[in-house]
């Protein structure tokens, strides 16, 4: 016993001398002492009590009592705990149980007493039999009102519903032994029957202890945990939505988790993507997420897909998983994922966020409606929706968490997944509304892939279709690569820099416009459908997005510079535009037409 | 292969059995088997699902292997007011 020599657990058949017990507990430090005493009543229910016979399984009671004291000392920070339990024969008026606690703080002492009382009820192996004056007997239950019993007949039905049971390990059913997948070879898989290990085994890192609280939950249990272990979920996007969804699905024990993300961690991601740390900046996010998740849960298998989900690889990815989560919060991937879900018949849990509001929907191909099924086709998509647009990580984290919950509903067949409607939730007011998403058979957005060979007039299709429908666009048709030797090709285009104003770099010797990405929609009317435009940015990502969108709107002569400005180091070898501005004499500075409408 | 097992009974089991402790020789290999055998003979009204079992004074599961000279204690649900 730590914390003084006053803590003890005692079983006794002698009458309790309460005054002496209290005196013995007091010690020189001016602590508060709280005491609890329970007494044998004169009647139980309506029946006059003659006596109470108390049996106790001593060996186990000793260890249980000591353990309870130890736990309470550690948990509540009280100084001493004394427990004295009467056994044997007692008559009404006698003390049955006495608990004394020395504590520096009253509240902690109160909590400790509650804890100890409850723990003794749950775990102390003691049986009290009441003998009534009319000759009948009854085993006492925690409700304390028992019907009159035939002699020797136990209150067994009441026992099941009202009595506290000694905690014991869950026996595994014999027919169905599940396995939890670990990242070890198949022949070394950790078997589920570790659940059968004794309770007093030390807290080893085993599936039984890891999932203990889920297993104890009636709604989940062994059956549910097995379903989780056998499920495979792909999370597309390891950003702010993905961080939350990944954390909770892996913790829940989804056996196989795929993380698909080609992007690298940047400083501005850290505030809303709590899986990552500063040392991770620059590394691939799918890899990072997998490392973090595996460190939390060694009993699931994390598969890393450090690539962008595209049409050519969607099949392989989708077919390897049961459920897909769209955690990209991007319009273009949303469309592609929806098509892929329709093509390969996988449920898709979708979320999108904007400021403090978010939307959540489960697209169930063939039976459920997609987000376009009931809506008029919308050609305009605000550019701000193309990038992460929540205010705080708390917002995107909330919806990523909700995506995990929807996935769990599907895996465990829990009620009411959002397959028939889409929820819109405002985190400021907590107002939610539900929009029905009934399937529209003629909806084009959730048709399976149209194979390119089936469509003859690709461009005509594009002109009349909304953004979501881009079945035949081949990015390589409109990506332009410029090499040192054909630098003159640039003169064939009107150059448009879509970087933000602060990043804008004019091309030396080539005039260009600056139409920043964040406000592009406001200014897109400046583009002439008859001219050839080459959009660029630093890396080529943003310009590619915009070109795809514009192509969808019918601009045919619009292209993106593959790899962005960073792909053209030769341009800046001898003179950088910035150096040009600073070092060169005024008359040699490039004449860039800068329409900076940002 | 038979084993010598020491058994302790409490509460209703003690009433039904009429003893609080006994030593028996048994072919049973697990506490569950042992209990089934005793249940039939003495008409115990409780099922293993509602009870705990301790072997050598440590709580364990019903399908653990019994060894010669083990002590088995069947614990009915705790009965206290």
Q: Any idea which of A12-26, A84-98, A124-138, A480-494 has the lowest mean pLDDT?
A: A480-494
**In terms of Cα–Cα distance, which of A448, A425, A237, A437 is closest to A326?**
A237
**pLDDT digits over A257-314, tens only?**
999 999 999 998 999 999 999 999 999 999 999 989 988 988 888 888 988 888 878 8
B24 CB within 8 Å of a chain A CB? no
The 3-class secondary structure across A324-390, one letter per residue, is EEECCCCHHHHHHHHHHHHHHCCCEEEEEEEECEEEEEEECCCCCCCCCCCCCCCCCCCHHHHCCCE
Taking the CA atoms of A240, A243, A249 and A255 in sequence, report the sign of the dihedral they define: positive
**pLDDT digits over A17-75, tens only?**
888 898 888 877 767 889 999 999 888 877 889 999 999 999 899 999 999 999 999 99
pLDDT computed for residue A531 by the predictor: 82
Cα-based distances in Å from A272 to A289, A290, A384: 14, 17, 17
Cα-based distances in Å from A119 to A165, A258, A300, B58: 11, 42, 34, 18
The answer to whether residues B15 and B80 touch, using CB atoms and an 8 Å cutoff, is no
| Residue A412: both structure tokens together | 């465990």
> ipTM of the predicted structure?
0.89
Q: Please determine, for residue A154, whether its predicted confidence score (pLDDT) is greater than 50.
A: no
Give every CB contact of residue A31 below 8 A, 6+ residues apart in sequence.
Answer: A79, A102, A103, A104
Q: Please determine, for residue A437, whether its predicted confidence score (pLDDT) is greater than 60.
A: yes
**Which residue of chain B is at minimal alpha-carbon distance from A164?**
B78
**What does the alpha-carbon distance between residue A119 and residue A144 come to, in Å, rounded to a whole number?**
18
Q: Any idea which of A26-35, A181-190, A253-262, A322-331 has the lowest mean pLDDT?
A: A181-190
**What does the alpha-carbon distance between residue A5 and residue A594 come to, in Å, rounded to a whole number?**
83
- For A549, list phi and psi in degrees, rounded to 5: -65, -45
pTM of the model: 0.41
Q: Please determine, for residue A552, whether its predicted confidence score (pLDDT) is greater than 80.
A: no
The pLDDT of A125-134, averaged and rounded, is: 91
Residue A571's pLDDT band, with cuts at 50, 70 and 90, is low
Asked if A122's CB is within 8 angstroms of B77's CB, the reply is: no
**pLDDT digits over A207-261, tens only?**
777 888 888 787 788 888 889 989 999 999 999 999 999 999 999 999 999 999 9
pLDDT computed for residue A274 by the predictor: 95
Q: Any idea which of A1-15, A153-167, B2-16 has the lowest mean pLDDT?
A: A153-167
The partner residue sitting opposite A168, judged by closest CB among B10, B16, B52, is: B52
The residue among A509 and A589 whose pLDDT is bigger is A509
The partner residue sitting opposite A60, judged by closest CB among B50, B54, B62, is: B54
pLDDT computed for residue A587 by the predictor: 41
pLDDT computed for residue A226 by the predictor: 86
Across A253-322, the runs of DSSP E, i.e. the strands, are 256-260, 301-305
Q: Please determine, for residue A116, whether its predicted confidence score (pLDDT) is greater than 80.
A: yes
Nearest-neighbour CA in chain B from A417: distance (Å): 34
- CB-CB neighbors (< 8 A) of B80 in chain A: 121, 124, 126-128, 140, 142
């Amino acid at each position: 016993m730590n914390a003084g020599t006053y803590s003890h657990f005692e079983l006794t058949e002698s009458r309790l001398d309460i005054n002496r017990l209290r005196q013995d507990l007091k010690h020189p430090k001016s602590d508060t002492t709280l005491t609890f005493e329970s007494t044998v009543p004169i009647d139980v229910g309506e029946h006059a009590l003659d006596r109470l016979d108390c049996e106790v399984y001593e060996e186990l009671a000793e260890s249980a009592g000591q353990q309870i004291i130890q736990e309470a000392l550690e948990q509540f920070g009280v100084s001493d705990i004394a427990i004295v339990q009467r056994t044997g024969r007692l008559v009404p008026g006698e003390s049955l149980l006495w608990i004394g606690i020395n504590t520096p703080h009253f509240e902690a002492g109160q909590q400790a007493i509650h804890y100890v009382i409850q723990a003794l009820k749950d775990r102390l192996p003691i049986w009290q039999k009441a003998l009534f004056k009319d000759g009948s007997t009854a085993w006492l239950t925690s409700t304390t009102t028992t019907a009159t019993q035939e002699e020797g007949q136990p209150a067994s039905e009441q026992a099941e519903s009202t009595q506290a049971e000694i905690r014991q390990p869950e026996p595994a059913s014999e027919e169905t032994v599940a396995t939890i997948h670990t990242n070890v070879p198949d022949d070394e898989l950790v078997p589920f029957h570790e659940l059968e290990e004794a309770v007093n085994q030390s807290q080893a890192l085993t599936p039984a202890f890891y999932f203990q609280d889920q297993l104890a939950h009636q709604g989940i249990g062994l059956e549910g945990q097995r379903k989780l272990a056998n499920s495979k979920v792909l999370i597309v996007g390891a950003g702010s939505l993905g961080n939350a969804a990944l954390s909770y699905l892996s913790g829940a024990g989804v056996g196989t988790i795929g993380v698909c993300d080609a992007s690298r961690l940047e400083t501005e991601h850290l505030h809303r993507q709590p899986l990552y740390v500063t040392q991770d900046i620059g590394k691939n996010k799918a890899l990072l997420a997998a490392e973090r998740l595996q460190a939390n849960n060694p009993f699931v298998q994390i598969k890393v897909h450090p690539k962008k989900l595209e049409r050519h690889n969607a099949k392989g990815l989708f077919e390897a998983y049961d459920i897909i989560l769209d955690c990209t919060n991007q319009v273009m991937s949303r469309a592609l994922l929806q098509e892929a879900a329709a093509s390969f018949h996988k449920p898709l849990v979708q979320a999108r966020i904007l400021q403090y509001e978010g939307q959540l929907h489960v697209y169930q191909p063939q039976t459920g409606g997609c987000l376009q099924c009931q809506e008029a086709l919308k050609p305009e998509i605000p550019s701000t929706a193309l990038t992460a647009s929540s205010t705080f990580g708390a917002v995107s984290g909330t919806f990523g968490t909700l995506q995990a919950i929807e996935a769990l509903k599907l895996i465990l067949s829990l009620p009411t997944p959002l397959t028939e409607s889409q929820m819109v939730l405002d985190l400021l007011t907590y107002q939610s509304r539900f929009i029905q998403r009934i399937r529209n058979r003629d909806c084009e957005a959730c048709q399976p892939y149209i194979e390119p060979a089936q469509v003859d007039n690709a461009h005509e299709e594009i002109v009349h279709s909304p953004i979501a429908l881009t079945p035949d666009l081949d990015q390589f048709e409109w990506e332009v690569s410029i090499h040192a030797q054909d630098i003159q090709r640039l003169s064939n285009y009107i150059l448009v820099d879509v970087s933000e104003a602060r990043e804008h770099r004019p091309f030396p010797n080539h005039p260009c416009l600056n139409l920043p990405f964040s406000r592009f929609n406001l200014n897109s009317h400046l583009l002439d459908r008859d001219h050839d435009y080459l959009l660029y940015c630093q890396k080529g990502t943003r310009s590619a997005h915009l070109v795809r969108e514009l192509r969808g709107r019918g601009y045919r002569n619009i292209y993106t510079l593959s790899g962005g400005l960073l792909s053209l180091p030769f341009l800046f070898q001898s003179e950088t535009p910035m150096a040009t501005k600073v070092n060169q004499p005024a008359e040699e500075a490039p004449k860039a037409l800068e329409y900076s409408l940002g | 292969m038979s084993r010598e097992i020491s058994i302790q009974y409490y509460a209703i089991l003690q009433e039904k059995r009429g003893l609080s402790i006994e030593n028996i020789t048994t072919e049973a290999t697990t506490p569950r088997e042992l209990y089934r055998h005793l249940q039939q003979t003495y008409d115990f009204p409780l099922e293993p699902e509602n009870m705990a079992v301790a072997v050598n004074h440590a709580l364990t599961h019903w399908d653990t292997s019994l060894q010669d000279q083990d002590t088995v204690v069947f614990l009915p649900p705790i009965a206290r007011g």
